[in-house]
Amino acid sequence: MRINLASVFVDDQDKALRFYTDVLGFVKKSDVPLGEHKWLTVVSPEQPDGTELLLEPAGGHPAAKPYQAALAADGIPVTSFAVDDVRAEFDRLRALGVRFTQEPVEMGPVITAVLDDTCGNLIQIAQHT
């Protein structure tokens, strides 16, 4: 068994797609219209056949927005992305205007930082040392 798909709720799928591709560097995998929303996924360019991230419309379920708001208010990332060098990625993303709620911090065998994805979520980036 392996993880095939993970999802994050987003307040605007088009805005999320721009952030996740143009800023974070993922690539669009699926874009299937489904009424007012779409089945919209991105993948790592390093693993185009790997785990897909579904950019799930938050307006599609009544619990989504309170869930997002509660996690963000508590400073809890909704997911974590692996990077080779957290400090370099932090510098690159900050230069692009990304807002971080946690600068790089060493936590035992990992270094983490937490960013705001502009779509209602906090996202952790992590490097195993």
Domain boundaries, the chain: 5-128
- Digits of tens for pLDDT over the chain (129 positions)? 999 999 999 999 999 999 999 999 999 999 999 999 999 999 999 999 999 999 999 987 899 999 999 999 999 999 999 999 999 999 999 999 999 999 999 999 999 999 999 999 999 999 999
State residue 60's pLDDT score.
Answer: 78
CATH for 5-128 (1.20.1560.10, 3.10.180.10, 3.30.70.270, 3.30.530.20): 3.10.180.10
12 vs 80: CA distance, rounded Å = 20
The three-class DSSP label of residue 124 is strand
The predicted model scores a pTM of 0.94
Q: Distance between alpha carbon 47 and the CA centroid of its chain, in Å? A: 16
Burial label for 62, CB within 10 Å (0-12, 13-18, 19+), is: exposed
Contacts with 91 (C-beta within 8 Å, 6 or more apart), sequence order: none
